Amino acid sequence: SANTGDGAEGNGDDLITIGFAQVGAESGWRTANTKSIQDTLTTENGFDLKFSDAQQKQENQIQAIRSYIAQNVDVIAFSPVVESGWDAVLQDAKDAGIPVILTDRAVDSEDDSLYVSFIGSDFVEEGHRVGEWVSENLGTESINVVELQGTTGSAPAIDRKEGFEDAIAGNSNVTVIDSQTGNFTRAEGKTVMEGFLQAHDDIDVVFAHNDDMGLGAIEAIEAAGKKPGVDIKIVTIDGVKDGMTALADGKFNYIVECNPLLGPDLAEIAKKVVAGESVEKRIVTHDDAFDQEGAKAALPNRQY
C-alpha cells in the first residue's frame, strides 16, 4: 500500500487537528458540554481531536495548551476555568500562528487579538433573568436570599452574580444575606448550604449559580427537615436533566438554561478559521428559562 512515510498515522492530510483543553468534569453541564464536543469533532466531520481534562486547575489547562502548541495543532479551543492569567500562553499560541477559539467561558485579556472567537452564553443576562424572576415572583414580600457562587474568578460566577444583583437592586424586599462559592459541584454546594442553615434561621431563597450546587442544597435542606421548593425556594442556572427533574418535582422553583451543546458552533468556526475565512468575534448561545410547569412540558424532549 502506498505509505505516505510522513508518520501521520491515522491523521489523513485533510483532517483539522484541534486541541481542546476542557475545564474538568465538575458538573452535569460540563459532562454534556464534553459530549457535544467529542460527538461533533470527529474524524467523519474532518477533525482529529486531542482532548484534555484539567480537573478545574488553571495550571493543567495552561500545560495542555502548551502541549498543543508543541504538537503544532491547526486550532486550539478551551473553556478558561477562571478569567485571568491567560495572556502569556495565548501570546505563545499567537506567536506560533495557532488560532485560539474560546468556548463557554471568557478570558479578561485586554488584547482580544489573542483569540479569534468566543462562543458562549451571556452569563450576566442569565443572572439577570433569575434575579428578575425572584424579584417579581418572590419579592412581593421581604425575603432573605443565600447565594451559592460558582468557581471563584470564573466568568460565569462573576457575571451571574453581577446580573442577579442588578436585577434585584430596585426591590428593597430582596436581601442577599450570605454568599459563598460551592465551586459548581453538588458536594460543595451541599456543604456550603449546611453552613448557611447553621448560620441563618430565616433563609427564604437559594440562588445557586448552577443546578448541581442547587441539587446539593436540596440534600442539605431536606436533612434539616425543611421542604426544598416550598419552605426554602431554589432558583438555579443550567437546565440539565437532574435540575429539570428537580424543578418538575417541585424542589426547584425556576431555572435559566445555559446551553452546553457548543460542539456544532465550535466545528463550524474551526473550519472557517482554518480555511482563512473571517469569523464572528462573539457568538452568543440562546438560553431558555423554565418554571415548574415549563419543566414538566420540556423534560421529555431534553437532550442533556
Q: Give me the residues that bind ligand GZL (CB under 6 A), please.
A: 26-27, 29-30, 104-105, 120-121, 156, 184, 210, 212, 237-238, 258
Per CB under 5 A, the segment of 122-130, 148-156, 174-182, 227-235 that binds Zn ion is: 122-130
Nearer to ligand GZL, 212 or 265 (CB): 212
Nearer to ligand GZL, 204 or 212 (CB): 212
19 three-class SS: strand
Per CB under 5 A, the segment of 40-48, 123-131, 187-195, 201-209 that binds Zn ion is: 123-131
Nearer to Zn ion, 8 or 284 (CB): 284
Check residue 190 for interaction with Zn ion (CB under 5 A).
no
User: With CB cut-offs between 5 and 8 Å by kind, which of ligand GZL, Zn ion, none does residue 128 bind?
Assistant: Zn ion
Interacting residues with Zn ion between 261 and 290 (CB under 5 A): none
Q: How far is the CB of 129 from Zn ion (least distance, A)?
A: 6
Residue with cell 467561558: 105
227-256 in b/e burial notation, b at 16+ Cβ within 10 A? ebbeebbbbbbbbbeebbbbbbeebbbbbb
Please name the helix (run of DSSP H) or strand (run of DSSP E) that holds residue 123, with its range, or none: helix 123-137
Q: How far is the CB of 1 from ligand GZL (least distance, A)?
A: 45
Nearer to ligand GZL, 200 or 282 (CB): 282
CB 192 within 8 A of CB 182: yes
User: With CB cut-offs between 5 and 8 Å by kind, which of Zn ion, ligand GZL, none does residue 243 bind?
Assistant: none
The C-alpha cell at 78 is 478551551
Indicate the residue whose CB is closest to Zn ion.
128
Instruction: Give pairs for 292-300: CB < 8 Å, separation 24+.
Output: 292/247, 292/248, 292/250, 292/252, 292/253, 295/244, 295/245, 295/247, 295/248, 295/252, 295/255, 296/248, 298/244, 299/241, 299/244, 299/245, 299/248
Indicate the residue whose CB is closest to ligand GZL.
29
Give the strand pairing for 100-103 and 117-120: parallel
Interacting residues with Zn ion between 124 and 183 (CB under 5 A): 128
Nearer to ligand GZL, 19 or 120 (CB): 120
| DSSP character string of 172-213 | TTEEEEEEEE-TT-HHHHHHHHHHHHHH-S---EEEESSHHH
Q: How far is the CB of 128 from Zn ion (least distance, A)?
A: 4
In whole angstroms, give the CA distance from residue 74 to residue 76: 7
Q: How far is the CB of 65 from ligand GZL (least distance, A)?
A: 17
Residue with cell 479551543: 77
Count of residues binding Zn ion (CB under 5 A)? 1
User: With CB cut-offs between 5 and 8 Å by kind, which of Zn ion, ligand GZL, none does residue 184 bind?
Assistant: ligand GZL
Nearer to Zn ion, 37 or 167 (CB): 167
Q: How far is the CB of 274 from ligand GZL (least distance, A)?
A: 25
In whole angstroms, give the CA distance from residue 231 to residue 251: 10
Please name the helix (run of DSSP H) or strand (run of DSSP E) that holds residue 31, with its range, or none: helix 28-40
Under DSSP, the state recorded for 124 is: H
Residue with cell 481534562: 53
Nearer to ligand GZL, 139 or 182 (CB): 182
Q: How far is the CB of 102 from Zn ion (least distance, A)?
A: 23
Residues binding Zn ion (CB under 5 A): 128
